[in-house]
Structure 1
Amino acid sequence: MEKKQSLSRRTFLQQAGLSGIALTIGCYWPGLGKTTGQIVHAEDASTELMAWISIDNTGKVTIFNHRSEMGQGTWQAIPQIIAEELEVSMDQVSIRYTAAHPKKYGPQPQEGSFSIRGWCQQLLQVGASAREMLIDAAAKQWQVRTEECYAENGQVIHHNTGKTLSYGALVKDAAQLPPPQQVKLKERKDYKIIGKPLHRNDTVIKTNGAAVFGMDKKLPGMLYAVVERNPRFRGKVKSFDDSATRSVKGVKHVFTVQRAVFGLLFEGVAVVADSSWAAMQGRKLLKVEWDDSGFEHLNSEQLLARMQEDLHKPLPSEVFETALKNSAVNIEAAYEMPYQSHSCMEPLNCTAHVKENSIEIWGPIQEANWIQADLSERFHMPVENITVNMTFLGGGFGRKAFTDYPLEAALISQKIKVPVQVMWTREDDMTMGPFRAGALYRCRGGIDTQKKIAAFQVISASQYIGPGADKDAPPQPVSVNANHIDGLLSNYCQSIPCYSFGGIMTRSPIPTMWWRAPGANVDAFACESFIDELAHLASQDPLTFRKAHLTSHRCQALVDKLAAASNWDSRRRNDGWGVALTECFGSMVGQVVKVSRKEDNKVRIDKVFAVIDCGWYVNPDIIRAQLEGSIIMGLGAATHHATHFKSGKAVEKNFSTYPMPRINEIPEIEVHIMENNEKPGGVGEPGLPAFAPALCNAIFDLTGKRIRRLPFNLEEI
């Protein structure tokens, strides 16, 4: 086992471009309690460290990024955190991916906008520990006290004499020192690169074609595969005729294969060839007979009817009913959200090489540890024998966090005994799921005599995340007493005297899963649309109404910033202004959308103002890009596309029927970031939920028409 780890580590470091003698620094990790430093030679690169930083004898610094990069900016932000405390500029840093290795790097899943908010303190300590080791090494060479030395710009400097030693000159001696158990971190005012809008390190390689995405991976002797999967998800392969398929030049194998979706095995037929083109042409000629018995084949209309029925099943809350009855005035509204596919610009793909005692995976992997653990369990192989290599991702949105497509690739490789790249076409990617579940909401609320919310209730009916459920297991009525709903500002619950949230699971065989800002991406539309309706019922300005229900200084500061940034008080009679405030993954976001009617009498979005309070942050340019991308994705989901089902099959198969917003439809977006000393929050997901309700509230302000069902056609308003 040790020999295999040594070989794997050597290969990894050599491919990372290290030369000569390098120091790979493994720092004290609170969760593991390890302190180790070790010298690493190019000819003997074995190490058992949590290797975050490598410095070779020329002073070249390599920082290893342990999180996937799918556009959200971790490729830049994680090294930027380490480099700050290491006292090097980003111009001095090379960035390399790590393979999945939870013992070295801790958990590596990329979900819940967790990379910065969950890791900043550990990453700061990594950089600071390495810096202190290098300072200590310099002090020993000069025979001075460490307090007389400091690090700056990749070198250690002696205060009294001005003498300097580069990190490259110190690497060998520093490697012999134990990393410090306690390190002093900088104060925010002393940061040189954290908080600065540095250009992203991956921009150039993504624009010149040098960046390696999943389908760029090539291996000697590699074959290519596509899979004909059951369009009804749960059906089995009854039989198949591959005679025409095998007549295609280059086709090598045709056989059944499975992929696991939340514990259920979904079946398909793999066509393997010596080129992707041959595999796809062979699949077109494949004839498969499916066994689709034993489960429902639902249409979208049936799903909607089932959710409408479920919406009234939860048991009533007597306390809420009393509060609603005692309100001066009350209102009820229903909201509808559609099913959505993830539709990343890069369809799913994965390269796998399964040997007798090892598995290696390459691809757009969002959750490296999960995939490593899943393959270990299914192949009865030690985790240490499974290598999961991350490439860049052309979008993820939660779909590439799933374990089904790497498992499918591994099973095909095991069968043919050579490496294989499994490619999903756009049609595969859009129709095979899992999808974001559609949802219905029933909202009820009352206003008291002081024009404030006296009662507030949100009940949902939707599929829960999973492989789908049989109709023969009907859900039981549930009481509505939850004290939290995704996307809603938690501070509202401090001022609203009576509130209740809850939901019931709708049964359907369609597989569903998380989608960017899971939970909040649907819940917030209902909550913030309904709060706007309550503001109108109370004859109050919608932003003032919200602020009156927020007790925390942080929330009120967000509202004030949003009002100032959007010039809210300048609203004119013939303009439409809408606002929404949301909270998820540790951050709060406020958005104002401004709409108007143009000469053709069609409604257009003029501008979107967004303010995010994500606390301590790393790179404002990344934050702005994420808010802009989230708003555009929210625009598409609100006004352009949805997934429908007919006889249990997804209808929309490509961008011709699942259209994305065009560049001429994108409004001006202005992003502001709150400055405070709060704990870091997420960025990649919190920017999406506020857009749809803010847009629909703006349309109501302009036209008097409430939009309660998504998606809708903006040009038909």
Structure 2
Amino acid sequence: MSVQEKENISRRGFLKLAGIAGSALCLGLYVSEKAEASVLNEAQATAAIEGVELAAWIIINTDGKVTLISHRAEMGQGVYHSIAQIIAEELEVDLYKVDIQFAQGDEKKFGSQLTGGSSTIRGSYKNLLKLSATARQVLIQAAANRWNVPAAECYAALGHVHHKPSGKSAHYGELVADAAKLTAPANVKLKARADYKVITKPLHRRDSPLKTNGEAIFGIDKRLPGLQFAVVERNPRLRGKVKSFDATAALKVPGVTKVFKVVMGVWTTDREGVAVVANSTWAAMQGKKALKVEWDDTGFEHISTAEIFTRQRELLKTSEGLPLRTQGDPNGVIAGSADKLDVVYETPYQSHSCMEPVNCIAHFQGDKVEIWGPVQAPNWIQDYVSKKMGLAPEKVIVNMTFLGGGFGRKAMPDYPHEAAVISKEIGAPVQVVWTREDDATQGPYRPGISYRCEGVVENGAISALKFRMAGQNNDHWRSPDNGRPNRSTSEGFLKPYYDSIKNLSFSDVPFKTPIPTSFWRSVYASTNGFAYESFLDEIAHKAGKDPLALRREYLKDERLQKLIDKMEAVSGWKSRRKNQGFGAAITECFGSTVGHIVKVSKKTGGGIHIDKVWVVVDCGWYVNPDIIKAQVEGSVVMGLGAATIHEITFKDGMVEQRNFYDYKMPRITDIPLTEVHIIDNDADAGGMGEPGLPAFAPALTNAIFDLTGKRIRKLPFDLNAV
């Protein structure tokens, strides 16, 4: 069977092919407070497909092949491999023989399937460990029953159960029929961390060969019988309308079959455009170029970048905003001080710019629509498309493929909805592909934000800190403004500061534009981290204290003390010399704390060179150190680009950047030497796809201040112009 044919198998069909009919062991993890693991017979396994609420299941067939149905997507963060590595540990099988199949979207069975917030491993690892250990124990019991020996005398290794005294052994495949008749134990003992043979080891990723030999099916690779192809000329201003269009020239392009107006939902608003359908993506693109469209852009604001940030700064001068958190009396302390710090930081709009362009396949079939593509949030797509098209949620079937990058962009339901609308119009399956220019000019974007940071230092100690944030609230694109502050206003700020700083406040100053915004890698921590950690550096300078020493003083948590110890040790922080530029920053993001130290020097002829970056990670329990290091290194590259190279700007309500020639990316020669250190402990797992990014920019600008005395408060900035 070809990879493509295998990828198209339904879940019911997969179970049949897996040999479930009385000769396979299928274990499901029921969604409940106890997260009970249970052996499933054929009827129960089939019921799981139809409606039994299962979070995951493991299937072992008669040849010993192990398959896990995974409810989350793989977009480069490594969960495809990490999930298999977890199973291999407790199930005692060969990691490279565990097969992973992506589940369809189904919130009743799987709960949230959002691949975001670095949540897959930290939200699932305990259940996966329990499920795998339960499968192992059931197989051991099946062997013990067969040999009429105590189960305590048996052990599992590399897909076999062995009896120590007699030397007997049996392959898992030989045992599944007997094991399928047993009741799973209520409680199983998990391995101690010290006994891990697979977990915590830097093993080669399972998906790397698939992605290099062409076997991996990304959304843009997917094909269906009778598939048509489409591109869309969309209004360059979100709230604009199609006034008229002339498709005469477009329809003359060989391969172009239809041209029509299309309306795509973008959360609570709509975007209009003209769809060009053809027998190939290339033909559709040529047809799009030949289109003549007249837009109606009246009745709404056509905003520009300079205006955005001027307005934000004015709001920060006059508005106290909506308080998110206040303790003590920061306003009173600040008002009564004749010597306070009062500065503004600014971060730009950013594009996601995933390497795999936005794309989606949809097949509308009257009473249902089926979707295939690189999607981060199948549940959100089901909910949104069902409401927009008047279908029951279960009639919106979402199939996940590999994603060539997501960073939050592919959690949006706009592009699947657009594909479904086009499919309905043409009465056939269609793949809609966005060009790089579409992606750059249509958004959504990381919101540009301004921060007013105020603080008072008295006798070398922090008396008060006050933070106000003015920027778009991503939540308002998904639901109406409820008058509440942005819940992410303090995201990234370390919680122990609340215990040690008596007078402290965070407020959200509401700010709106027609520009679509959404989640971007590490969400608000990527912008908050720059402002808050840069300002703490300013506070340390004003207090006459070493920046890391000040953080140590106010971060009493034991894990943070160890993290700072490690940061100092690996970077030689305490032995750094005068006129060397060292900067530090520490942020928390999605359950993990990450500290960056950046060392910079002056380049001959002017500008700044980044000599080295040290990153210390405390993510608690983890699976694979190499994947963590890869995620951190990728975060440094992405953070470097966002801090020093690229930004999205607007003029007259339209985006000025169109492709990588004017939204430049870091080149290999720009990338600093990066050294990653992971702290071992037994704490619960945190995320790692995103937490490595937020602390980089403030550590870099703090290092530049240390070297030059110049404080950088606006991003992006040019390293060659410092």
Bin the TM-score by the shorter chain. Answer: over 0.9
The equivalent position to 1:694 in structure 2, one of 692, 696, 699, is 699
Instruction: Kindly tell me the number of residue pairs found equivalent between the two proteins.
Output: 704
Mapped to 2, the partners of 1:701 and 1:609 lie a distance apart of 16
Equivalent residues in 2 for 1:164-203, closer than 5 Å: 164-203=169-208
User: Residue 514 of structure 2 aligns to a residue in which SS?
Assistant: coil
Question: Percent sequence identity over matched residues?
Answer: 52
The equivalent position to 1:357 in structure 2, one of 367, 375, 395, is 367
> 1:463-499 CA distances to partner (integer Å, 9 max, x unpaired)?
1115769xxx9999x999x997111111112111211
**Is 2:321 the partner of 1:319?**
no
> 1:344-377 CA distances to partner (integer Å, 9 max, x unpaired)?
1111000111212332211111112221232333
The equivalent position to 2:27 in structure 1, one of 25, 28, 44, is 25
Distance change in 2, residues 1:18/1:619 (3 Å): farther
Structure 1 contact 226–422 (Cα < 8 Å) conserved:
yes
Return the offset for 1:95.
2.3
- Alignment match, 2:115: 110
TM-score (norm 2): 0.93
**Is 2:8 the partner of 1:10?**
no
**Is 2:473 the partner of 1:464?**
yes
> 1:381-426 CA distances to partner (integer Å, 9 max, x unpaired)?
3443332111111110100011111111111111111111000000
Return the offset for 1:65.
2.3
Mapped to 1, the partners of 2:33 and 2:65 lie a distance apart of 29
- Alignment match, 1:436: 446
> 1:651-702 CA distances to partner (integer Å, 9 max, x unpaired)?
1110111000000110100000111111111111111100000000001111
Return the offset for 1:600.
2.7
Mapped to 1, the partners of 2:415 and 2:603 lie a distance apart of 47
Mapped to 2, the partners of 1:351 and 1:503 lie a distance apart of 39
What amino acid sits opposite 1:460 in the alignment? M
Structure 1 contact 228–268 (Cα < 8 Å) conserved:
yes
**Is 2:602 the partner of 1:597?**
yes
What amino acid sits opposite 1:117 in the alignment? R
Mapped to 1, the partners of 2:692 and 2:282 lie a distance apart of 39
User: Residue 490 of structure 1 aligns to a residue in which SS?
Assistant: coil
- Alignment match, 1:226: 231
Mapped to 1, the partners of 2:688 and 2:586 lie a distance apart of 15
Mapped to 2, the partners of 1:172 and 1:206 lie a distance apart of 35
User: Residue 155 of structure 2 aligns to a residue in which SS?
Assistant: strand
Equivalent residues in 2 for 1:268-667, closer than 5 Å: 268-315=273-320, 319-325=329-335, 329-449=339-459, 451-465=460-474, 485-667=490-672
Mapped to 1, the partners of 2:60 and 2:151 lie a distance apart of 21
Distance change in 2, residues 1:75/1:709 (3 Å): same
Q: Which moved more, 1:113-122 or 1:593-602?
A: 593-602
Structure 2 contact 606–721 (Cα < 8 Å) conserved:
no
Mapped to 2, the partners of 1:705 and 1:146 lie a distance apart of 69
Aligned-pair Cα RMSD in Å: 2.6
User: Residue 496 of structure 2 aligns to a residue in which SS?
Assistant: helix
Structure 2 contact 355–404 (Cα < 8 Å) conserved:
yes
Structure 2 contact 261–275 (Cα < 8 Å) conserved:
yes
The equivalent position to 2:57 in structure 1, one of 52, 56, 62, is 52
What amino acid sits opposite 1:593 in the alignment? V
Structure 2 contact 457–543 (Cα < 8 Å) conserved:
yes
Distance change in 2, residues 1:426/1:71 (3 Å): same
**Is 2:685 the partner of 1:683?**
no
Mapped to 1, the partners of 2:611 and 2:41 lie a distance apart of 58
Distance change in 2, residues 1:89/1:461 (3 Å): same
User: Residue 24 of structure 2 aligns to a residue in which SS?
Assistant: strand
Distance change in 2, residues 1:322/1:10 (3 Å): closer
Q: Which moved more, 1:106-115 or 1:48-57?
A: 48-57
> 1:501-529 CA distances to partner (integer Å, 9 max, x unpaired)?
11212121111111111111111111010
Structure 1 contact 457–499 (Cα < 8 Å) conserved:
yes
Q: Which moved more, 1:176-185 or 1:116-125?
A: 176-185
Return the offset for 1:70.
0.8
Mapped to 2, the partners of 1:170 and 1:271 lie a distance apart of 56
Mapped to 1, the partners of 2:595 and 2:350 lie a distance apart of 24
Mapped to 2, the partners of 1:293 and 1:179 lie a distance apart of 65
> 1:43-94 CA distances to partner (integer Å, 9 max, x unpaired)?
9998556452222211122223221111111111112112211111312322
TM-score (norm 1): 0.93
Structure 1 contact 28–126 (Cα < 8 Å) conserved:
no
Mapped to 1, the partners of 2:185 and 2:389 lie a distance apart of 40
> 1:283-324 CA distances to partner (integer Å, 9 max, x unpaired)?
111111222122101111111122112213433989223222
Structure 1: runs of 5+ lacking an equivalent: 1-6
Structure 2 contact 18–24 (Cα < 8 Å) conserved:
no
Return the offset for 1:139.
1.9
Return the offset for 1:16.
8.0
Mapped to 2, the partners of 1:162 and 1:16 lie a distance apart of 30
Mapped to 2, the partners of 1:33 and 1:76 lie a distance apart of 23
